């Protein structure tokens, strides 16, 4: 029995020791600072752009990928974006109007609820006064 536990303990300890090695990342690459392996930038040609009087760079429509169709698509997207922003402004103004109405209605509701509580409290006080008067009246009659 002792031999079996020793064997199992040995196997377990070997598994624990080797599991660290098995779980280690195998894609480790050491840093390499050799200039022979360095990535060198590719030579790119720069196209000349026309410059207007203000000094800003303006591209010719033929230089833009897609040409005039691409510019038209961008303009349509800009117009759609402006329309959506206008709708957003309308929605926000509508929301603020509704919110204002909600706040005034909420305040009116709170005041009405307060008046209801006051009226109910008065009724209770009147009922208590009536019962006290009846008790006093009955006591005087019974005497």
Secondary structure (DSSP) of 53-85: TT--EE--TTTSTTHHHHHHHHHHHHHHHHHHH
pTM: 0.40
What pLDDT, on the 0 to 100 scale, is given for residue 4? 83
DSSP H helices in 24-142: 67-142
Q: Is the dihedral of CA 118, 122, 127, 128 positive or negative?
A: positive
The CA distance from 59 to 73, in Å, is: 17
CA distance readout (Å), 1 to 5, 7, 70 = 6, 10, 82
Mean pLDDT, the chain, integer: 79
Q: Which residues pair with 32 in a beta bridge?
A: none
Q: Which two tokens stand for residue 76?
A: 């349509």
Per-residue model confidence as pLDDT tens digits over 77-133: 999 999 999 999 999 999 999 999 999 999 999 999 999 999 999 999 999 999 999
Q: What is the pLDDT of residue 141?
A: 80
pLDDT digits (tens, 9 = 90+) for 27-86: 655 555 555 555 555 555 555 444 445 555 666 655 555 678 888 899 999 999 999 999
Residue 17 and residue 9: Cα distance in Å, rounded?
12
Q: Which residue has the higher pLDDT, 53 or 6?
A: 6
- Predicted confidence at residue 76, as pLDDT, reads 94
The phi and psi torsions of 45 (rounded to 5 degrees) equal -95, 135
119 CB-near residues (< 8 Å, 6+ apart): none
């Amino acid at each position: 029995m002792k031999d079996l536990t020793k064997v199992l303990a040995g196997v377990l300890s070997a598994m624990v020791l080797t599991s660290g090695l098995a779980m280690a990342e195998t894609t480790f690459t050491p840093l390499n600072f050799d200039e022979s392996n360095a990535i060198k930038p590719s030579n790119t040609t720069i196209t000349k752009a026309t410059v207007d009087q203000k000094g800003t760079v303006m591209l010719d429509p033929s230089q833009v990928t897609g040409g005039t169709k691409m510019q038209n698509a961008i303009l349509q997207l800009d117009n759609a974006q402006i329309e959506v922003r206008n709708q957003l402004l309308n929605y926000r103004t509508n929301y603020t109007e509704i919110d204002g109405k909600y706040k005034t209605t909420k305040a009116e509701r709170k005041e009405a609820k307060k008046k209801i509580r006051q009226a109910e409290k008065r009724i209770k006080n009147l009922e208590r006064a009536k019962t006290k008067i009846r008790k006093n009246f009955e006591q005087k009659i019974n005497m």
